[in-house]
C-alpha cells in the first residue's frame, strides 16, 4: 500500500484551502522533504538534480566581491576547494554554547572555524562572514521550500504555497535545542508555521498506516523502532492498538525511549577515515601526523573517500581507495577490508544495543512491556544497513526478531508529513490517534527558596497544562520562577510584582499573598509559564483552602481561591494577573531583532543568487543561440540567397558576442544579456523570413495592393468614428425624452477587461501606417521599380505587415467597444423607461387616495416620492 493510496483514503482535501504543508525529515547529514497540498498529495521534493535526499547544509565559495551558495550535490566539490566554506551538518550544534565539546564535529569537518555569537552560541566563520547555526538551518530550509513551491507551480497549483512545516526532532533534544531548531526553521520564510514531531513516532505512524490491515479488533502489539541515522541512534518502544470498533482509528503510543546522541553513520565514517589516515602515514613515513592534520583539504578528501568506502563495505568484503594528489602531490592507493573496519570499531559493540536496553528499562506505562512482548525490532535509518550494526543486534536480540519491513530512507518523512497534517489540521483525517510522552522531567523552583517542584513528570503526555499555588507569603516585592529540565535550569521568569506592591500589603491581605502559576508543555515539548496570578487572601477560610489545595492538588476555579468558601466567609479575594520577564541563565534563543536581521541577510543572498542564476541562464541561452546562428550562416542557401546586409551583420555579431562571452559576460546584467539574445534572434528570424519569401514577387502590383489595403483600413477606422457619431445622434431624441444626455452616458460606460485597449496608442499606430504608406507610394512613383534592391523591398514589406497588423487590432477593438457600449445604452434606456413607468403608476395610485384629507395626501405624496426615488436607485 503506497503513500498516495493512503492519503487518497485518509484525507479529505478542503477545496477552499490555498496552502501546502512540508514534512521535513531533518537528519544530521541528509534530509528528505515531502509536500502535500490540495493539488499535490504526498509527493517527495526532489533536489535540483532529481535526487530523493538532500544534503543538510550548504557550501560557500567566493564569487566576485561576494559569495556564492552551493546546495545539493555540488557541496562536495565546493568543500574540497574551500573547506572552511562548508556550512554543513549543524543539527548537532543547535542549542549549544561555544564552550561545549565539539571534537567529533571538527574531526568530520576539518577547516571549519567556530566563533561565538553575541548570545554565546555557535556561529560558523566563512569567507569573512559569521553564520549562526540557526541561519544555516534557515537557508537550507528556505531553499527546500523554494523547490517545493516550484513543484506546486508545475502542478498548476499557483495559488498553493508552503505555509507550514512539520520537522522531525529526536525526542532527546533539550529545550535549548528545540528553541534553536524552531528559530532556525522560522527564518526560512516570513510567517512560516512550524511544529516539531518525534522522529521515532513518525516511523511508527508510517508503519501503522501501512500495516493497519494486520491488526485485529481489540489487538495491541508492541514494536521497538531502532533508528540509527548519521548523527545519533534512537530506540522507541511503541504500542499500536486497534480498537474493538474497527471504525475507530489505530492508537500509536510511545511507551519507552533510549538513545545515544553520538552514535551514528558519521562516527562509522570517521572510523574508516582514521583507518585511511593511518595507512597513508604508514606509506609515507616522512610525513608527520600533525602536518597531515593541518591540511584541511586532504582531510576532507579522506573523509569523502571514507564515506564511499563505508558504503562499499556494507555489501563487500573490501573496498579500494584511490585519491590523486592527496597531500604534497602524493597519490594514495590502498584497500580497506570489512574485518579491519569492524575490528577498529569494536568499542562500539555495546553502544549499538544500549539504546534498546535503555528503552526497555525506562518505560512510561503502568504495565511494563517485557522483552518477550515485543513483536519485532524494526530497523530504520541509513546506518542500520552497516553489517556490524545488524550483527550486534541479531546476536543480542535474535535474528528472528529483527525486521526490515519499513523504508529505511523515507518512512520518517512520510510519517512526519501525515503527523503534520494532523497537528495543523490542514485537512480532515481520521487516520490514527497518537500519544506522545516526555522523556524528561520538568520542574519549577519558586523564589530560589524551595527545592524543585515537579510539574510534568517523565512519561507525561503532551501537549499539557497544569496550575500550581505557591505557599502564601508576606514579602511580595520579589518573586521569580526557575524552570528546569531534568534538574538543569534553562529559563527564569522574573515576575513583575509592581502592580501589587501597594495594593496587596498586609492590611489589605491579612493572610498573605499566594501565586497561581499555570505551566504548559506545548506540542513542540517546550516547557514554559502560561500565566501568573497574584491572589490576595483576605480571610482565614480561604487561607485554609489554599493549603488544602496546595497539598492535595487543585485546579483553580473561575472565581479564584474562594470558589469553595463557606457561608460565613463573605470576603472575595482579589486576583491580579502579572507579567514576567524572561531570563536565560545558560543560552538565550534568537530574539525578534536578531531574527529580522538574519532573515534580511537570507533575502539578500536569495536576491543575489536569483540574479546570478538568471545571468548564468541567459549566458547559456546566448551561447547556444550564437553557435546555432553560426551553423545557420554556414548553410549554402543562406550564403547565396540571404539578405547580404543582415547576413554580414549577424556574422559580425556572432564573432563579437562569442569573444565577449569569454571575457566580459560574467559582469553583464540580465538586461544586457536579454538585449543581445533578442538582437541575435531578430536578425536570424529576419534572414529566415527573407529566404522563405523567395516565392513572393515583391513587384509593383504587390506594393500597389499594399497601398490600397492600408488606405482602406485607415478609411475603415475613420468610418468607425462616423458610425459612432451617427448612432449617438440616432439615439439622442429618445434619450432626451427620458432626461438623459446620450453622449455623456456613452462616455461613462466602462468596457470589461477583455475589451481593454491594445498596448500601442492609436495615434502612434495610425501615424506608423501613414508613414509606411508614404514610403510605399514613393516606391510606386519611382521611374524604374527595378532600381530598388529586393532586400529594401522586403524590408518595406515587413514594415507594412507590422503596421497593418497593429492598425487592424485597433479597428477590431473599436468595433467591439462600440458594439458593447451601444448595447449598454439600449439597456440603460430600457431600465430608465421602467423606472419612469413605475413612478407614474405610483403617482396615479396616490392621486386616487386623496379623500383622506390634505395631511394624509401630503404624507402619501412624500411616501410616493420616497418610493419612486428608491425604485430609481435600485434599478439604475
Q: Above pLDDT 70, what percent of the chain?
A: 89
Q: Which pLDDT value is given to residue 12?
A: 43
Cβ pair 181, 152 in contact under 8 A: no
CA distance 199 to 693: 68
- Which residues 6+ apart lie within 8 Å of 743 measured at CB? 728, 732
Nearest CA among 791, 832, 793 for reference residue 642: 791
Q: What is the pLDDT of residues 188-237, one digit of tens each?
A: 987 899 999 999 999 999 999 888 888 888 889 999 999 999 999 999 99
Residue 464 in grid coordinates: 499539557
Most confident of 122-131, 468-477, 749-758, 866-875: 122-131
**Residue 555: pLDDT above 50?**
no
- According to the model, what pLDDT value does residue 751 have? 84
Band of residue 866 on the pLDDT scale cut at 50, 70, 90: very low
Q: Above 80 in pLDDT, residue 854? A: no
Residue 17: CB atoms within 10 Å: 14
Task: Give the Cα separation of 196 and 182 in Å (integer).
Answer: 8
Query: Under DSSP, is residue 395 helix (H, G, I), strand (E, B) or coil?
Result: helix
Alpha-helical runs (H) found in 211-348: 265-283, 289-293, 296-313, 338-344
Listed residue (311, 297, 299, 291) closest to 274, CA to CA: 299
pLDDT digits (tens, 9 = 90+) for 341-357: 999 999 999 999 999 99
Query: Which three cell numbers, joined as nine digits, stand for 569?
Result: 466567609
* Torsion angle (degrees, nearest 10) of CA 675, 680, 684, 690: 60
Q: How far is CA 153 from CA 19, 47, 189, in A?
A: 13, 16, 18
Question: At 30, is the pLDDT very low, low, confident or very high (cuts 50, 70, 90)?
Answer: very high
Segment 580-587 shows an average pLDDT of 95
Residue 90 CA to residue 108 CA, distance in Å, equals 12
> Which residues neighbour 360 within 8 Å (Cβ) at sequence distance 6 or greater?
237, 256, 258, 369, 371
Task: Count CB-CB contacts under 10 A for residue 2.
Answer: 10
Helix locations, 482-591, DSSP H: 498-501, 540-552
Q: Measured between alpha carbons, how far is residue 521 from residues 237, 308, 443, 446, 462 in Å?
A: 22, 43, 11, 18, 6
- Give the whole-angstrom CA distance, residue 564 versus residue 541: 9
* pTM (predicted TM-score): 0.78
Q: Give exposure, 607-633, as e/b (b: 16+ Cβ within 10 Å).
A: ebbeebeebeebbebbbebbeebeebb
The string of pLDDT tens digits covering residues 764-813 is 888 889 999 998 888 877 767 777 888 888 888 888 988 999 899 889 88
Confidence of residue 549 (pLDDT cuts 50, 70, 90): low
Which residues are within 8 A (CB) of 295 and not within 5 positions of it... i.e. 6 or more apart? 327
Q: Which helix (H) or strand (E) is 482 found in, with range? A: strand 480-485
Residue 290, pLDDT score: 94
Predicted confidence at residue 553, as pLDDT, reads 45
Most confident listed range (545-554, 628-637, 757-766): 628-637
| Neighbouring residues of 368: CB distance < 8 A, sequence distance ≥ 6 | none
Give a three-class secondary structure readout of 195-208. EEEEHHHHHHHHHH
**Section 180-187 average pLDDT:** 96
50: its cell numbers: 532529481
Q: What is the pLDDT of residues 57-66, one digit of tens each?
A: 999 998 877 8
* E-strand stretches of 312-426: 318-327, 330-337, 374-380, 402-403
Q: What pLDDT, on a 0 to 100 scale, did the predictor assign at position 552? A: 47
For residue 324, give every residue at least 6 positions away whose Cβ sits within 8 Å of its Cβ, in sequence order, or none.
331
- Give the lowest-confidence range in 147-156, 231-240, 529-538: 147-156
Assess contact for 43 and 34: CB atoms under 8 A: yes
Q: Do 120 and 100 contact (CB within 8 A), yes or no?
A: no
pLDDT at position 18 is: 65
Per-residue model confidence as pLDDT tens digits over 450-466 = 789 999 999 999 999 99
- Cell numbers for 591, please give them: 530574539
Ramachandran category for residue 42: left, alpha or beta (phi over 0 → left; psi -120 to 50 → alpha): left
- Write down the residue that cell numbers 486497534 correspond to: 242
Architecture of domain 3-263+352-432: 2-Layer Sandwich (3.30)
Give 76's Cβ-side CA count (13 Å radius).
12
Q: With a cut of 70, say whether residue 642 has pLDDT above it.
A: yes
Q: Which residues contact 504 (CB under 8 A, 6 or more apart)?
A: 476, 513, 534, 536, 574, 576
Residue scoring higher pLDDT (640 or 531): 531
Query: For residues 470 and 74, what is the distance between their CA atoms, to the nearest angstrom?
Result: 58
Q: What's the confidence (pLDDT) of residue 85?
A: 94
Cα radius of gyration rounded to whole Å, the chain: 40
Quote the pLDDT of residue 551. 45
* Average of per-residue pLDDT across 477-504: 93
**In the chain, what percentage of residues exceed pLDDT 90?**
61
Q: By 3-state DSSP, what share of the chain in percent is helix, strand and coil, each rounded to 5? A: 50, 20, 25
Query: What does the pLDDT read at residue 545?
Result: 58
SS3 259: strand
Please report, for residues 23, 212, 415, the alpha-carbon distance to residue 402 in angstroms, rounded to integers and kept in the order given. Answer: 28, 20, 21
Q: Boundaries of CATH 3.30.420.40 in the chain?
A: 3-263+352-432
- Whether 855 shows a pLDDT value over 60: the answer reads no
CATH of domain 609-692: 1.20.1270
Q: Where in the chain is the domain with CATH 1.20.1270?
A: 609-692
Amino acid at each position: 500500500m503506497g503513500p498516495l493510496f493512503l492519503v487518497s483514503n485518509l484525507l479529505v482535501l478542503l477545496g477552499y484551502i490555498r496552502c501546502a504543508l512540508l514534512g521535513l525529515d531533518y537528519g544530521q547529514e541528509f534530509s528528505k522533504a515531502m509536500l502535500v497540498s490540495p493539488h499535490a498529495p504526498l509527493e517527495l521534493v526532489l533536489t535540483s538534480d532529481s535526487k530523493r535526499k538532500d544534503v543538510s547544509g550548504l557550501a560557500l565559495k567566493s564569487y566576485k566581491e561576494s559569495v556564492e551558495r552551493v546546495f545539493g550535490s555540488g557541496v562536495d566539490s565546493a568543500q574540497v576547494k574551500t573547506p572552511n566554506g562548508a556550512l554543513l551538518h549543524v543539527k548537532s550544534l543547535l542549542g549549544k554554547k561555544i564552550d561545549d565539546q565539539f571534537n567529533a564535529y571538527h574531526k568530520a569537518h576539518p577547516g571549519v572555524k567556530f566563533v561565538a555569537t553575541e548570545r554565546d552560541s555557535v556561529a560558523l566563520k566563512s569567507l569573512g562572514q559569521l553564520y549562526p547555526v540557526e541561519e544555516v538551518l534557515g537557508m537550507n530550509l528556505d531553499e527546500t521550500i523554494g523547490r517545493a513551491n516550484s513543484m506546486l507551480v508545475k502542478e498548476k497549483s499557483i495559488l498553493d504555497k508552503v505555509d507550514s512545516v512539520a520537522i522531525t526532532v529526536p525526542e532527546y533534544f533539550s529545550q535549548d535545542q528545540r528553541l534553536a531548531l524552531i528559530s532556525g526553521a522560522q527564518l526560512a520564510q516570513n510567517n512560516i508555521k512550524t511544529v516539531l514531531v518525534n522522529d521515532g513516532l513518525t516511523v511508527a505512524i508510517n508503519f501503522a498506516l501501512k500495516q493497519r490491515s494486520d491488526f485485529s479488533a481489540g489487538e495491541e502489539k508492541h514494536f521497538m523502532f531502532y533508528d540509527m541515522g548519521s548523527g545519533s541512534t534512537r530506540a522507541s518502544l511503541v504500542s499500536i492498538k486497534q480498537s474493538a470498533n474497527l471504525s475507530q482509528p489505530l492508537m500509536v503510543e510511545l511507551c519507552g525511549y533510549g538513545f545515544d546522541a553520538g552514535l551514528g553513520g558519521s562516527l562509522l565514517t570517521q572510523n574508516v577515515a582514521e583507518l585511511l589516515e593511518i595507512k597513508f602515514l604508514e606509506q609515507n613515513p616522512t610525513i608527520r601526523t600533525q602536518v597531515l592534520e593541518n591540511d584541511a583539504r586532504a582531510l576532507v578528501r579522506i573523509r569523502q573517500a571514507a564515506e564511499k568506502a563505508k558504503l562499499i563495505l556494507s555489501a563487500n568484503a573490501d573496498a579500494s581507495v584511490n585519491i590523486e594528489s592527496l597531500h604534497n602531490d602524493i597519490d594514495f592507493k590502498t584497500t580497506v577490508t570489512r574485518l579491519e573496519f569492524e575490528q577498529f570499531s569494536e568499542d562500539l559493540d555495546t553502544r549499538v544495543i544500549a539504546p534498546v536496553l535503555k528503552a526497555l528499562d525506562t518505560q512510561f506505562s503502568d504495565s511494563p512491556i517485557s522483552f518477550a512482548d515485543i513483536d519485532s525490532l524494526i530497523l530504520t535509518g541509513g546506518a542500520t544497513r552497516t553489517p556490524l550494526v545488524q550483527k550486534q543486534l541479531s546476536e543480542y536480540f535474535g535474528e528472528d526478531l529483527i525486521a526490515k519491513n519499513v523504508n529505511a530512507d523515507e518512512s520518517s518523512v512520510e510519517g512526519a508529513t501525515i503527523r503534520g497534517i494532523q497537528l495543523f489540521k490542514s485537512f480532515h483525517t481520521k487516520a490514527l490517534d497518537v500519544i506522545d510522552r516526555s522523556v524528561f522531567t520538568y520542574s519549577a523552583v519558586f523564589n530560589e527558596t524551595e527545592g524543585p517542584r515537579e510539574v510534568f513528570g517523565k512519561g507525561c503526555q503532551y501537549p499539557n497544562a497544569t496550575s500550581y499555588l505557591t505557599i502564601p507569603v508576606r514579602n511580595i516585592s520579589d518573586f521569580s520562577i526557575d524552570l528546569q529540565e531534568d534538574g538543569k535550569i534553562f529559563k527564569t521568569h522574573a515576575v513583575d510584582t509592581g502592580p501589587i506592591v501597594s495594593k496587596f500589603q498586609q492590611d489589605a491581605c491579612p493572610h498573605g499573598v499566594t501565586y497561581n502559576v499555570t505551566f504548559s508543555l506545548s506540542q513542540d515539548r517546550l516547557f514554559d509559564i502560561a500565566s501568573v496570578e497574584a491572589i490576595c487572601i483576605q480571610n482565614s477560610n480561604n487561607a485554609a483552602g489554599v493549603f488544602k489545595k496546595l497539598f492535595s492538588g487543585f485546579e483553580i476555579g473561575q472565581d479564584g481561591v474562594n470558589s469553595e468558601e463557606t457561608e460565613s466567609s463573605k470576603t472575595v479575594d482579589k486576583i491580579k494577573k502579572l507579567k514576567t520577564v524572561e531570563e536565560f541563565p545558560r543560552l538565550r534563543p534568537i530574539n525578534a531583532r536578531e531574527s529580522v536581521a538574519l532573515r534580511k541577510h537570507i533575502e539578500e543572498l536569495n536576491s543575489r543568487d536569483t540574479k546570478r542564476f538568471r545571468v548564468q541562464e541567459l549566458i547559456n541561452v546566448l551561447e547556444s543561440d550564437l553557435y546555432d546562428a553560426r551553423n545557420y550562416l554556414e548553410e549554402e542557401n543562406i550564403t547565396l540567397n540571404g539578405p547580404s546586409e543582415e547576413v554580414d551583420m549577424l556574422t559580425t555579431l556572432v564573432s563579437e558576442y562569442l569573444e565577449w562571452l569569454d571575457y566580459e559576460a560574467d559582469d553583464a546584467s540580465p538586461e544586457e544579456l536579454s538585449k543581445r539574445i533578442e538582437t541575435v534572434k531578430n536578425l536570424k528570424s529576419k534572414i529566415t523570413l527573407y529566404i522563405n519569401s523567395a516565392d513572393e514577387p515583391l513587384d509593383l502590383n504587390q506594393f500597389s495592393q499594399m497601398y490600397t489595403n492600408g488606405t482602406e483600413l485607415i478609411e475603415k477606422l475613420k468610418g468607425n468614428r462616423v458610425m459612432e457619431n451617427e448612432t449617438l445622434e440616432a439615439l439622442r431624441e429618445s434619450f432626451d425624452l427620458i432626461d438623459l444626455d446620450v453622449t455623456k452616458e456613452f462616455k461613462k460606460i466602462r468596457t470589461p477587461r477583455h475589451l481593454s485597449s491594445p498596448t500601442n496608442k492609436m495615434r502612434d499606430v495610425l501615424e506608423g501606417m501613414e508613414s509606411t504608406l508614404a514610403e510605399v507610394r514613393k516606391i510606386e512613383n519611382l521611374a524604374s521599380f527595378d532600381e530598388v534592391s529586393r532586400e529594401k523591398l522586403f524590408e518595406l514589406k515587413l514594415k507594412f505587415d507590422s503596421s497593418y497588423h497593429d492598425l487592424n487590432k485597433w479597428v477590431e477593438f473599436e468595433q467591439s467597444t462600440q458594439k458593447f457600449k451601444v448595447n449598454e445604452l439600449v439597456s440603460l434606456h430600457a431600465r430608465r423607461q421602467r423606472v419612469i413607468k413605475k413612478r407614474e403608476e405610483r403617482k396615479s395610485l396616490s392621486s386616487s387616495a386623496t379623500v383622506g384629507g390634505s395631511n394624509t395626501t401630503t404624507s402619501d405624496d412624500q411616501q410616493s416620492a420616497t418610493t419612486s426615488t428608491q425604485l430609481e436607485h435600485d434599478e439604475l
